[in-house]
């Protein structure tokens, strides 16, 4: 008998034959599925929904392995364990992908229009959107796949719209002109959290503005000379003795040939440049505030793709912003109006998704008031109703929440949850509702869609389709996520839970480590230091990979990973295999207590 067993079980462990076999068995036998069972206490994990544009990364491996350990442990302890999977529609990321996909075929999204473009988005989602889910299955995670959700599912979409309408009618959503971060690549506003700052070696240009009725010049320093075409003032500090005699006078703005005032404002730093600063209210946040204080004209010089518009002199219209910069410099040099140029290093904001420098841009957007929403979310963390692991992330959470600004929730995109607001074509009436107005032919709907996070902030409760399920499974138990989205998602989910459900969305938040290469560098495609997890699984097995990343990942510390470290996991899997092989070979000699 022992000899037969020995022949049945190979000496060497081959994960490719074992892992797929048992995962199929688990799925076929519905091992991972959960239904309401009032005799059992639920233990629930809502998966951080990966973007439908995404592919499996080492970060996903760590995050989902931790979730799988937690859910399997609770399942074995007798809890009604429910791990809800799903994907996020990823508004900007998906629209960018589909736009590029169409461009490669010679199709312009603006020529085909919104409805046709959305059909392409849905087709793209059907073809590519489920790839990461299949990759997660290859990792062996025990999600309840019957509960898989998508943030654009019809019922989920409706929940998002209902949330907007409720907040709007309760005065917590409003529309207004604000200075926003504008992404010229996607032609949309983005939030402060979607801007990444990079040190850039640039130039500081010293420009000479002639003082009207004088032979004197005011010299202003700027890193963005192209914006001078939208200048409507020059500011100096009221305590700066150098400029006492020019306050109240005017200068002639070169190229535009427009007279603009010189005024005093305490904001001006006397130590920067010459102590005199050009003021462009439409294209700088601080200039905008100064402009409001001094009633300056606001002149927007850019189109939504950051090309120059009709508000600049004709010879400068229709230029890319950086081409406009070159032309402005050339014109000023020809006129002898550049005093000097210095090398200058400064931080420039880039769109996290678009990968291009953002433009401070004055536009009409939808905002959500955050002051009242944030207070209960601060309290539940302070009182320990929600625990953070590691605990030190509370400081980051409180700092952001206690200095929170109104949330710009609108995006100038087509793929996403469209703003449920309609404007009457003849009157100025505004209608907001879950359903459109009955005489729809007399109305036009707002063109914008919601920020992606303004849909996923409902994830913890909207993943459950019925009120009965929400009452049983909500609040969820544990959220496992990266600390990089503590503002984007964690904080907002807590606010949504407290507002819409009057309860916390989860009890514990486990913040994962960051996976780096052995040199401590963050993994990225550009550095070529990010191994494809599927190749690692092919070479070592899913269990070997999972074991290795967990073994290397102490709470709160970065993981220094390389694929060859999976030898550690493979050796451990071999030991478990051989121990099991030995037991099965000798099973007939082991007395069994069948009452157990």
Give which of 174, 193, 165, 175 is closest to 500, Cα–Cα: 165
Q: Is the pLDDT of residue 558 over 50?
A: yes
The token pair at 177 is 């002109």
The DSSP code for 143 is: -
From the number of C-beta atoms within 10 Å of its C-beta (0-12, 13-18, 19+), residue 167 rates as: buried
Cα separations (Å) of 435 from 411, 422, 445, 503, 547? 21, 10, 11, 28, 50
- Those residues whose C-beta lies under 8 Å from the C-beta of residue 528, and which sit 6 or more positions away, are none
Bridge partners for 88 per DSSP: 51
The mean per-residue pLDDT over the stretch 28-56 comes to 94
Q: 594: pLDDT confidence band, cut at 50, 70 and 90?
A: low
The token pair at 497 is 């839970």
Q: Is the pLDDT of residue 2 over 60?
A: no
Beta carbons within 10 angstroms of residue 153's beta carbon: 16
**Cα distance between residue 483 and residue 549, in whole Å:** 18
Give which of 266, 183, 172, 194 is closest to 496, Cα–Cα: 172
Q: 462: pLDDT confidence band, cut at 50, 70 and 90?
A: very high
**Cα distance between residue 92 and residue 413, in whole Å:** 7
Task: Using a pLDDT cut of 70, give the percent of the chain over it.
Answer: 97
31-35, 52-56, 388-392: range with lowest mean pLDDT: 52-56
- Those residues whose C-beta lies under 8 Å from the C-beta of residue 456, and which sit 6 or more positions away, are 49, 88, 151, 489, 493
What pLDDT, on a 0 to 100 scale, did the predictor assign at position 178? 84
Instruction: Look at residue 80 and give its three-state secondary structure.
Output: strand
- Find out if CATH 3.90.740.10 is the number for domain 193-351: yes
What pLDDT, on a 0 to 100 scale, did the predictor assign at position 530? 79
CATH numeric code, 40-172+370-418+453-512: 3.40.50.620
Instruction: Look at residue 240 and give its three-state secondary structure.
Output: coil
Q: 595: pLDDT confidence band, cut at 50, 70 and 90?
A: low
What class is the 1-29+532-591 domain? mainly alpha
The token pair at 414 is 């087509």
Q: Where are the alpha helices (DSSP H) in 170-315?
A: 285-293
The mean per-residue pLDDT over the stretch 313-329 comes to 96
Q: 1: pLDDT confidence band, cut at 50, 70 and 90?
A: very low
Comparing 193 with 537, which gets the higher pLDDT?
Answer: 537
The DSSP code for 125 is: H
pLDDT in tens, 335-358: 999 999 999 988 999 988 778 999
> Across the chain, what does the average pLDDT equal?
92
Q: Residues, the chain, total?
A: 596
Give which of 262, 463, 498 is closest to 385, Cα–Cα: 498
The mean per-residue pLDDT over the stretch 441-460 comes to 96
pLDDT in tens, 522-547: 776 556 777 889 999 999 999 999 99
From the number of C-beta atoms within 10 Å of its C-beta (0-12, 13-18, 19+), residue 435 rates as: exposed
Instruction: Look at residue 380 and give its three-state secondary structure.
Output: helix
What pLDDT, on a 0 to 100 scale, did the predictor assign at position 584? 82
Bridge partners for 188 per DSSP: 183
**Cα distance between residue 234 and residue 262, in whole Å:** 5
The mean per-residue pLDDT over the stretch 235-250 comes to 95
What pLDDT, on a 0 to 100 scale, did the predictor assign at position 560? 87
Domain coordinates in residue numbering, the chain: 1-29+532-591, 40-172+370-418+453-512, 193-351
Q: Is the pLDDT of residue 65 over 80?
A: yes
The mean per-residue pLDDT over the stretch 384-401 comes to 95
The mean per-residue pLDDT over the stretch 569-580 comes to 91
The mean per-residue pLDDT over the stretch 133-138 comes to 93
* C-alpha Rg value of the chain to the nearest Å: 29
pLDDT in tens, 394-428: 999 999 999 998 999 999 999 999 999 999 999 98
What b-and-e string marks burial along 389-405, b requiring 16 or more CB atoms within 10 Å of the CB? eeeebbeebeeebeebe
- Those residues whose C-beta lies under 8 Å from the C-beta of residue 259, and which sit 6 or more positions away, are 212, 250, 251, 252, 253
What pLDDT, on a 0 to 100 scale, did the predictor assign at position 526? 58
**Cα distance between residue 225 and residue 342, in whole Å:** 13
CA 119 to chain centre: 24
Give which of 169, 159, 94, 162 is closest to 125, Cα–Cα: 94
pLDDT in tens, 289-313: 999 999 999 999 999 999 999 999 9
Give which of 579, 569, 455, 529 is closest to 90, Cα–Cα: 455
Beta strands in 166-300 (DSSP E): 173-183, 188-190, 195-210, 217-222, 233-236, 250-253, 258-264, 276-279
Task: Using a pLDDT cut of 90, give the percent of the chain over it.
Answer: 77
């Amino acid at each position: 008998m022992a000899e037969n067993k020995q022949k049945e079980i190979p000496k060497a462990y081959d994960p490719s034959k074992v892992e797929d076999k048992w995962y199929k068995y688990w799925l076929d036998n519905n091992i991972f599925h959960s239904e309401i069972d009032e005799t059992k206490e639920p233990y629930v994990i809502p998966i951080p929904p990966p973007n439908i544009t995404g592919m499996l990364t080492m970060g996903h491996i760590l995050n989902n392995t931790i979730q799988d350990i937690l859910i399997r442990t609770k399942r074995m302890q007798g809890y009604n364990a429910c791990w809800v999977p799903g994907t996020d529609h990823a508004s900007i990321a998906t629209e960018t992908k589909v736009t590029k996909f169409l461009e490669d075929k010679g199709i312009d999204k603006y020529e085909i229009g919104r409805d046709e473009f959305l059909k392409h988005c849905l087709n793209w989602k059907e073809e590519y959107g489920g790839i990461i889910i299949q990759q997660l299955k290859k990792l062996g995670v025990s999600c309840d796949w019957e509960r898989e959700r998508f943030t654009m599912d019809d019922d989920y979409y409706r929940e998002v719209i209902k949330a907007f309408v409720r907040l709007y009618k309760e005065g917590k959503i409003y529309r207004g002109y604000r200075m926003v971060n504008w992404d010229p690549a996607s032609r949309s506003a983005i939030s402060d959290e979607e801007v990444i700052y990079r040190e850039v070696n640039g130039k500081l240009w010293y420009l000479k503005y002639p003082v009207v009725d004088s032979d004197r010049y005011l010299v202003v320093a700027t890193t963005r000379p192209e914006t001078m075409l939208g200048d409507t003032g020059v500011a100096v500090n009221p305590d700066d003795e150098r400029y006492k005699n020019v306050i109240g006078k005017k200068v002639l703005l070169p190229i535009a040939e427009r007279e603009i005032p010189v005024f005093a404002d305490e904001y001006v730093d006397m130590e920067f440049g010459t102590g005199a600063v050009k003021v462009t209210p439409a294209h700088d946040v601080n200039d905008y505030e100064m402009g409001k204080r001094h009633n300056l004209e606001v002149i927007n010089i850019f189109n939504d793709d950051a090309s120059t518009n009709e508000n600049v002199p004709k010879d400068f219209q229709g230029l890319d912003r950086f081409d406009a910069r070159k032309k402005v410099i050339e014109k000023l040099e020809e006129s002898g109006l550049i005093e000097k140029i210095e090398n200058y290093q400064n931080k420039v904001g880039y769109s996290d998704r678009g990968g291009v420098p953002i433009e401070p841009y004055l536009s009409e957007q939808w905002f959500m008031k955050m002051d009242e929403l944030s207070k209960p979310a601060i309290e539940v963390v302070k009182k320990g109703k929600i625990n953070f692991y590691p605990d030190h992330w509370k400081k980051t959470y409180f700092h952001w929440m206690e200095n929170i600004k109104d949330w710009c929730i609108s995006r100038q995109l087509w793929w996403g949850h469209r703003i449920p607001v309609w404007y009457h074509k003849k009157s100025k009436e505004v209608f907001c509702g879950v359903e459109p107005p009955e005489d729809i032919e007399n109305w036009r709907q707002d063109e914008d869609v919601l920020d992606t996070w303004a849909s996923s902030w409902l994830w913890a409760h909207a993943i459950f389709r019925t009120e009965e399920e929400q009452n049983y499974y909500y609040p969820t138990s544990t959220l496992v996520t990266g600390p990089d989205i503590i503002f984007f998602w964690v904080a907002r989910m807590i606010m949504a839970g407290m507002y819409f459900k009057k309860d916390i969305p989860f009890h514990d938040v486990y913040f994962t480590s960051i996976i780096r290469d052995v040199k401590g560098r963050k993994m990225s495609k550009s550095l070529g230091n990010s191994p494809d997890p599927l190749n690692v699984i092919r070479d070592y097995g899913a269990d070997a990979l999972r074991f290795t990343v967990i073994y290397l990942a102490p709470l709160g510390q970065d993981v220094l990973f390389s694929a060859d470290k999976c030898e550690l996991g493979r050796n451990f899997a071999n030991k478990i295999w051989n121990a099991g092989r030995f037991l099965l070979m000798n099973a007939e000699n082991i007395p069994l207590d069948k009452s157990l």
